[in-house]
Amino acid sequence: MTDGNAGLSRRGFLTAAGTAVAAAGTAAAQEDGNTTAGNETTTASGNQTMSGNETASGDESAGGSGSGSSGGVEREVIVGPEGELVFDPETVEVTPGSTVTWVWESDNHNVVPDGELPEGASWEGTGGDSETFDTGYEYSHTFTELGTYDYVCVPHASVGMVGAVEVVEELSSGGGEGGGSNIPQVPDSAKSLGVATTFSMISVLGLAYFFMKYGGDYETPDN
């Protein structure tokens, strides 16, 4: 192979390699676009249901979790996690129309409003002060009026088992306790694109170095 042919081969190789990298990036980007376009969000609304023989009225449900009204959010509070005498989280922040669901993870607890309710609000909690519930029980309530709703577990209020629901017009940064994380999430398709592009570039540079170092002349020398 002559020097001129070797030079042309090198240029041809680099041109083809660059084209391959560009094609790989385009294909990965197209896959990313198709994935994004294929994701759909579906919402549905419906009446709350009750299980067992429990009864509830208005926007409450007993024995099951509820759904928030349009524009609200959903929050979950664990009652007595791992046997501790606390509500976790102790305070949740929601907007009007949001549903809070309390889930029992230990026995002999209740959720009873403590103090004055916000103007126009109606909330009785799980019932009487002496009525308690055990592991597996769930109770939900949809809050519609702005304000702070303090509550306690009556049997354990003296040891600090208290909580609060704060209904605000707009959630603060982070959406209040129990909300989602604000850390940006990188889509899997973008990660794949980055890995593929990096691998392609390293492969091309490695092959280019090899080709240029050894000249691409693999013919058997004349004797």
What are the residues facing 98 on neighbouring strands? 143
C-alpha torsion angle, residues 110, 111, 116, 117 (rounded to 10): -150
Q: What is the pTM of this model?
A: 0.51
Question: Which pLDDT does position 57 carry in this prediction?
Answer: 37
- Identify the three-state secondary structure at position 65: coil
Residue 43: burial class (beta carbons within 10 Å; 0-12, 13-18, 19+): exposed
Give residue 202's pLDDT: 85
pLDDT tens-digit readout, 2-18: 554 545 455 655 565 56
Q: Which residues are annotated as a binding site for Cu cation?
A: 109, 153, 156, 161
Residues annotated within the binding site are 109, 153, 156, 161
d(CA 128, CA 122): 15
What per-residue confidence (pLDDT) applies to 193? 76
Residue ranges per domain, the chain? 74-167
Give the residues of the chain that fall short of pLDDT 50. Answer: 4, 6, 8, 31, 34-59, 61-69, 175-183
Q: How far is CA 46 from the centre of its chain?
A: 23
Going by C-alpha positions, the residue among 48, 51, 57 that lies closest to residue 99 is: 48
Q: CATH classification of 74-167 is 2.60.40.420, yes or no? A: yes
Backbone angles phi, psi at 155, to 5 degrees: -65, -20
